[in-house]
């Protein structure tokens, strides 16, 4: 892989308009079937003295691409956050939310409704000891 391809990849990363395009670039260069990954797989076929030099070059290119991807991803995420924050407006003149102190237990509410219903039918609710 020559320097022109890496320079082109770095320029494409810097010009990526969105996170999806950036992820597609990452996969095409660093994914399982990516260009750099294929070159790393091919290192085993080279002679030992060539392998070391070629491996260093590939790793330098990989680090440069990873750094460019990280920087661009952070920039795009910051842009996205700024757009979202610019679109959200909070009206400070609105009253605040009141405090909710809680609600009655569903069984207690049901017993109260039953007592009210039977009271309307003419029954009387009496409290007292259950066992004498």
What pLDDT, on a 0 to 100 scale, did the predictor assign at position 60?
Answer: 92
What pLDDT, on a 0 to 100 scale, did the predictor assign at position 100?
Answer: 81
Q: Are 73 and 25 in contact (CB under 8 A)?
A: no
* pLDDT tens-digit map of 76-111: 999 999 988 888 877 778 888 888 888 899 999 999
What pLDDT, on a 0 to 100 scale, did the predictor assign at position 41?
Answer: 87
Token pair for residue 13?
Answer: 């990363």
Best CA proximity match to 31, nearest among 4, 2, 60, 69? 69
Q: How far is CA 34 from the centre of its chain?
A: 24
**Considering the entire predicted model, what is its pTM?**
0.63
- 107, containing H or E segment: helix 106-120
Residue 35, CA distances (Å) to 1, 20, 48, 109 in order:
9, 19, 21, 67
Q: Which residue has the higher pLDDT, 48 or 26?
A: 26
Best CA proximity match to 19, nearest among 105, 65, 80? 80
User: CA–CA separation, 24 vs 87, rounded Å?
Assistant: 28
User: CA–CA separation, 83 vs 81, rounded Å?
Assistant: 5
């Amino acid at each position: 892989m020559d320097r022109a391809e890496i320079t082109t990849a770095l320029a494409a990363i810097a010009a990526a308009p969105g996170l999806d395009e950036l992820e597609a670039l990452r996969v095409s260069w660093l994914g399982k079937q990516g260009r750099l990954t294929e070159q790393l797989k091919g290192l085993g076929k080279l002679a030992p003295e060539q392998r070391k030099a070629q491996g260093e070059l590939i790793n330098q290119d990989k680090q440069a691409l990873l750094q460019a991807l990280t920087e661009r991803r952070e920039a795009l995420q910051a842009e996205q956050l700024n757009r979202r924050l610019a679109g959200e407006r909070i009206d400070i003149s609105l009253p605040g939310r009141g405090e909710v102190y809680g609600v009655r237990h569903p069984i207690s509410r049901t017993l109260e409704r039953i007592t009210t219903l039977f009271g309307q039918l003419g029954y009387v609710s009496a409290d007292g000891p259950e066992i004498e």
